[in-house]
Amino acid sequence: MLDLGSDVRGLTARLVDIESVSGGERALADAIERALGAVGHLTVERDGDAVVARTDLGRPQRVVIAGHIDTVPIVANVPSHESGGRLYGCGTSDMKSGVAVQLKLAAALAEPVHDVTYVFYDCEEVDAERNGLRRLARNRPDLLEGDFAVLMEPTGGVIEGGCQGTMRVEVTTYGERAHSARSWMGHNAIHEAGRVLDVLRAYAPRRPEVEGLRFHEGLNAVFVSGGVAGNVIPDECVVTVNYRFAPDLTEEAAEAHLREVFTGFDVRVTDSAPPARPGLDHPAAAAFVQAVGAGQARAKLGWTDVARMSELGVPAVNYGPGEPTLAHTRDEYVLLDAVVEAEQRMTGWLTGAAGAPFRPEPDDSA
């Protein structure tokens, strides 16, 4: 059971203790659905293991506050434990602390200045095809409609604009099989893969400035596979490469760049997700930055579903209490004071206590 009346710190711990590795979110989705279903001012709907709760107060604007409920695989870091003001455990930073803030807002704020859609979705940490927000956009796009969105991703309490795109490619080298006792009669494809690694070692990632924010790209091998048997010279080796590219590039431009970098190799794209430009000059984003971030923002060095909201025509930013540099680590933790601060800042924004609420210009075309 989830007690939405409990302190946000204890709620974070409870969320972490309900295991929800990507593809195994059912228990946590059930608990969230039950808890929100008991909140009288919310309408709750579900799609697979995604739960959507909405207010319907007739406000002029609607904001979407979204967060994924899945985590990377556990490495002996569940259940959670607290030490020195830190809560340790898988998902503490990425991003069950952000989800805890969402749940507290959803339960506590019966009269926000905007109508709010709270989205809790599955399978963000795996291939884009399985992403729960993508499924919602396909099955129930009406549930994601809004004038502005906040993704409660880990940002260390700093508003982060846009996000980088991500692309995975398989770079394949070929050889000729032979008995390892007569290796000179074959050609070793794994040895050939060394040329791919040479390219990666020599690669200088770009650090472009996009709309005033500094991004930092990355190009790295993440898997190497090859080999037939212990006594066979292999005839094929595959190096899987992940490219994190800045939002001044499209997916098509990113793919073209990779094919140029690996000229002469067999390159196949296996997974891709687009970037999102910062868009902090949008009135809703600018108002949020002033109200919650005291006018400060930086680039998001990673991919988030800000990109998916952007594709849906909803301007969005990243903001959450988790520390992004701790995401996916064995010793992942969140500062409990940061979770409380995030709840307070978001409450101030949604109640109008922190800065003026966003009011878009009237649509003269109507």
Query: Contact at 8 Å (CB) between 39 and 4?
Result: yes
Catalytic residue check, 94 = no
Catalytic residue check, 124 = yes
Query: Contact at 8 Å (CB) between 181 and 239?
Result: no
Selected catalytic residue, list 70, 122, 160, 305: 70
- For 240-273, give the DSSP string: EEEEEE-TTS-HHHHHHHHHHHTTTSEEEEEEEE
Q: Residue 160 to residues 87, 146, 274, 275, 290: CA-CA distances in angstroms?
A: 23, 19, 17, 13, 13
Q: Which helix or strand (DSSP H or E) is residue 103 part of?
A: helix 97-108
Selected catalytic residue, list 94, 122, 124, 255: 124
Query: Contact at 8 Å (CB) between 321 and 157?
Result: yes
User: Strand 266-273 vs strand 297-299: parallel, antiparallel, or unpaired?
Assistant: unpaired
Residues 6+ apart with CB under 8 A from 11: 2, 3, 4, 100, 103, 104
| Rounded Cα distance, 240 and 106, in Å | 41
182 DSSP assignment: G
User: Strand 115-121 vs strand 62-68: parallel, antiparallel, or unpaired?
Assistant: parallel
361 DSSP assignment: P
Length of the chain counted residue by residue: 366
Distance of CA 276 to the CA centre of its chain: 12
Residues 6+ apart with CB under 8 A from 110: 40, 41, 55
Give φ, ψ of 132 to 5 degrees.
-65, -35
Q: Is the peptide bond before 278 cis (omega within 30 degrees of 0)?
A: no
Angle between helical axes of 97-108 and 26-37 (0-180°, round to 10): 20
Catalytic residues: 70, 124
